[in-house]
Amino acid sequence: MHVIVGATGATGSVVVRELLARGEKVRAVNRSGRAGVPEGVELVAANAADAKQMREVCAGATAVYNCVRPPLPEWLEVYPRVQQSLIRAAGSAGAVLVFADDTWMYGKVDGPMTEDTPSLPVSNLGLLRAWLADMLLTAHLRGDAQVAIARAGELYGPKVESLFGSPMFAGKRPMWFGNPDLPITPTYIDDFAKTMVTLAAEPGSWGEVWHVPSSEPTTARKFAAIAGRDKLRALPVKMAKTLGLVSTVAKHGAEILYQFEQPFLVDSTKFTARFGGTAMELTEGIARTLKWHKENPRRSPIPS
Task: Give the side-chain half-sphere CA count within 13 A for 25.
Answer: 5
When the pLDDT of each residue in the chain is averaged and rounded to a whole number, the result is 92
Q: For residue 23, what pLDDT band results from cuts at 50, 70 and 90?
A: very high
User: Which of residues 203 and 250 earns the better pLDDT score?
Assistant: 203
Of 105, 101, 106, residue with least CA distance to 209: 101
Instruction: Compute how many other C-beta atoms are within 10 angstroms of the C-beta atom of residue 115.
Output: 15
CB 5 within 8 A of CB 64: yes
Q: Which of 68-72, 84-88, 270-274 has the lowest mean pLDDT?
A: 68-72
Look at residue 301 in the predicted model and tell me its pLDDT.
47
Cα distance between residue 130 and residue 113, in whole Å: 15
Query: What pLDDT, in 10s, does the model give residues 41-82?
Result: 999 999 999 999 999 999 999 999 999 998 888 889 999 999
Structural domain range at position 107: 2-154+187-213
% of the chain with per-residue pLDDT over 90: 77
Q: Is 299 exposed, middle or buried (0-12, 13-18, 19+ CB in 10 A)?
A: exposed
The answer to whether residue 161 is domain-embedded is no
Look at residue 249 in the predicted model and tell me its pLDDT.
58
Using the predicted structure, report yes or no on whether residue 156 has a pLDDT greater than 70: yes
The CATH number that applies at residue 90 is: 3.40.50.720
The answer to whether residue 85 is domain-embedded is yes
Look at residue 300 in the predicted model and tell me its pLDDT.
46
Overall domain count for the chain: 1
Cα distance between residue 28 and residue 232, in whole Å: 38
The answer to whether residue 290 is domain-embedded is no
The answer to whether residue 293 is domain-embedded is no
User: Which of residues 107 and 252 earns the better pLDDT score?
Assistant: 107
Look at residue 170 in the predicted model and tell me its pLDDT.
80
Average pLDDT over residues 154-177: 88
Using the predicted structure, report yes or no on whether residue 256 has a pLDDT greater than 90: no
CB 192 within 8 A of CB 212: yes
The answer to whether residue 68 is domain-embedded is yes
CB 156 within 8 A of CB 168: yes
Query: What pLDDT, in 10s, does the model give residues 236-253?
Result: 888 776 765 445 556 667
Instruction: Compute how many other C-beta atoms are within 10 angstroms of the C-beta atom of residue 224.
Output: 24
Using the predicted structure, report yes or no on whether residue 273 has a pLDDT greater than 80: yes
CA torsion 251→161→173→220, rounded to 10°? 100
Cα distance between residue 289 and residue 291, in whole Å: 5
Q: For residue 303, what pLDDT band results from cuts at 50, 70 and 90?
A: very low
The answer to whether residue 225 is domain-embedded is no
CB 13 within 8 A of CB 7: yes
Look at residue 237 in the predicted model and tell me its pLDDT.
83
pTM of the predicted model over 0.85: yes
User: Which of residues 216 and 299 earns the better pLDDT score?
Assistant: 216
Look at residue 253 in the predicted model and tell me its pLDDT.
73
The answer to whether residue 283 is domain-embedded is no
The answer to whether residue 84 is domain-embedded is yes
User: Which of residues 237 and 26 earns the better pLDDT score?
Assistant: 26
User: Which of residues 212 and 35 earns the better pLDDT score?
Assistant: 212
CB 167 within 8 A of CB 174: yes
